[in-house]
Amino acid sequence: MLLVLGSINADLVLEVETLPGPGETVLCPGWRLAHGGKGANQAAAAAKLGARVRFFGRIGSDPWGPLLRRGLEEAGVEVDGLASSPRPTGTAVIAVDRAGENLILVASGANLDVSLDQLGGAELGPGTTLLCQNEIPLPVTLAALERARAAGARTILNLAPAAALPAGALDPVDLLLVNEHEAAALLGAACEPEAAAAALAGPQRTCVLTLGRAGALAIGPDGAWRVPALTVRPVDTTGAGDTFAGALAAFLDLGLSLPEALARASVAAGLACERLGAREGQPDRAAVEARLAELGPPVPITAARGS
């Protein structure tokens, strides 16, 4: 079983010609409401791919809360761990330009009240996976990862958005998932992808580094692989990283090997870019398997270890 502890947001999506720069005003005809939040997006992606998923988060007592709860339920996620907060439901304003690139602002709201005790009754233990991101208070995330590691569960941290971490924070993490920007924030400097992933991996920790159109790579105690990205015409890249994270966690939890899960996560993330919104393009397992051959098998990396 996959347990996801994290954020859930109402996304206000605006389609614009170009993304605004500092001090700039950009007009567009309207906006639409979509289901979002990195935690909830990842939970939904994993459930759509066939994993059994429980989500732990918080919503406000405004009309958006129940709407977002229903969205998760419809994706097949168990929501008994979704609690309420006196703060407003988390809200993101997302501008998407003609090339599918985005700019995101998040008002955290109820996500700030997610607490460790919510995980209290969860079945953490061998055979379960805990997946976290960085849109709820960091101390709660780190304590949850420690609790999961102590219970023998697999632990995955998608450190998005980027953050510097206290010393030792990654010790209970089995798999760290970051993009290049997040890796640079952690390492204090941008560096070549294989060197970055090798630096963030550890004796018991795999680092998976996503590289956008260049695919992804994984380096860790089980080996090192690179996978390409699926060739797609992107409509909206919002949430592609969340689909990657949810898919990777789902396939590992379902018992696939790291390279098998990596390739499928890359396909799922590519497919997610073909529709507007963080969740609308999330594929089911059949859609992923149907496009898998386009990627070819993951390529082992031989030169990166220990750099």
List interacting residues with ligand RIB (CB under 6 A). Answer: 7, 9, 11, 36-38, 41, 92, 104, 106, 135, 238-239, 241-242, 278
What's the min distance (Å) between Cβ of 198 and ligand RIB? 26
Instruction: Specify whether 242 is catalytic.
Output: yes
In the complex with ligand RIB, the residue whose CB is nearer, 202 or 234, is 234
**Smallest separation, CB 256 to ligand RIB (Å):** 24
Element (H, E) at 34: strand 32-36
Tokens standing for residue 18: 């170009």
Report the nearest approach of ligand RIB to the CB of residue 9 (Å): 4
The dihedrals phi and psi of 167, each to the nearest 5 degrees, come to -55, 135
Report the SS3 class of residue 135.
coil
Give whichever of 220 and 246 is closer to ligand RIB, judged by the CB atom. 246
Burial 61-77 (b: 16+ CB within 10 A, else e): eeebbeebbebbeebbb
Nearest residue to ligand RIB on Cβ basis: 36
Residue placing its CB nearer to ligand RIB in the complex, 239 or 283: 239
CA distance 200 to 89: 34
Q: How far is the CB of 285 from ligand RIB (least distance, A)?
A: 22
Is the separation of the CB atoms in 6 and 110 below 8 Å? no
Identify which of residues 145 and 278 has a Cβ nearer to ligand RIB in the complex.
Answer: 278
Pick between residue 135 and residue 174 the one whose CB is nearest to ligand RIB.
Answer: 135
Instruction: Provide the minimum distance between the beta carbon of 133 and ligand RIB in the complex, in angstroms, as a whole number.
Output: 8
Q: Nearest 5°: CA angle at 37, between 292 and 130?
A: 70
* Other beta carbons within 10 Å of 231: 10
Rounded to 5 degrees, φ, ψ at 130 are: -105, 125
| Residue 141 near residue 67 (C-beta atoms within 8 A) | no
Structure tokens at 145: 């990862």
Residue tagged active-site, from 97, 174, 236, 242: 242
DSSP helix/strand/coil, 86: coil
Residues annotated as part of the active site: 242
